[in-house]
Structure 1
Amino acid sequence: MSTRKLIILTTIFIIFFCAWCRSIIRNDDKYNSLFKNHIRFSGKIVSLNVSGNHAYGIIRIKVEKTNTNAFTDSIHSAVFPYKIKEGYAEFYGYVPVTTKTGYDILLDSDKRILEIYDHEKNISTSGVNVSFESDNIMFVNRHTMFK
């Protein structure tokens, strides 16, 4: 292959790669703005359901304290990381292996964090993210209590 063809192909590749990265950043900005909704809740973990996909799962929570009684945001082709309804909430995301029923949980959407406590001791702090993986979407659709 001539040097000129190689330069042209490399330039085309770089242009497409930059366009692809730009579209990902736009989508991230769009979904990140959904988290600035001032939702905060805490409660006790009543059940865990972990999939076989990298510890992704559902944490069911008996809500003890919240600033909203209901929240069910839906995103086409994705799973928003939590729902709240009728005194219960579900968190959809990474479930740390040390998590047990009865532990306390706190979710702060604006900060995009989920904290899990055993009494006063912090067991885990993790990020709160939208999932686009089809396996995770199907898992949540099959196992959510909010149907």
Structure 2
Amino acid sequence: MSQNIRIHSGTTTSRSSEFNEIVRSIDDETLASAMADPMSRTVVLHAVFDEMPRRLIGDRVDGVDSVVCWRIGEPADMWTVVVANSRCTVHQGNPGLEPAVTLELGMVPFLRMITGQMGGMALLVTGNLRIKGNMMTARKMEKWFVRD
């Protein structure tokens, strides 16, 4: 099933439930085509990562001090998520911090994961997610953030 889809900055940040529904309704081929556009990809990644600090569940990260590097797509867009002192900060690229874990995956699997369609373990088993570093941190991360 092929659909025309246009992703723009108003689609994501303040309306994450709507964004999730849009992503869930699009087949992988169409989603990959939409995300092949550098502007769409940039807008979506900024919206997703900008939302992470607001979605952190503070009591689930008590005592956590971790740096997570995300490498998404090919060529990879890199984002660094720092969780410390029950807070989350996000950096595009790597600000020179050593990650505890690095997650590498394509844009479509990333979107399927963040919208709750696929879990990290399913992506790992199917070869759509590669994990380097602390596997326990990677496993626990899914519970650190609110999902719609």
**Fold shared by both chains (TM-score > 0.5):** no
Tell me which structure has the larger Cα radius of gyration.
1
Q: In proportion to residue count, which structure has more helix?
A: 2
TM-score (norm 2): 0.25
Q: TM-score, normalised by structure 1?
A: 0.25
Give the structure with the higher percent strand: 1
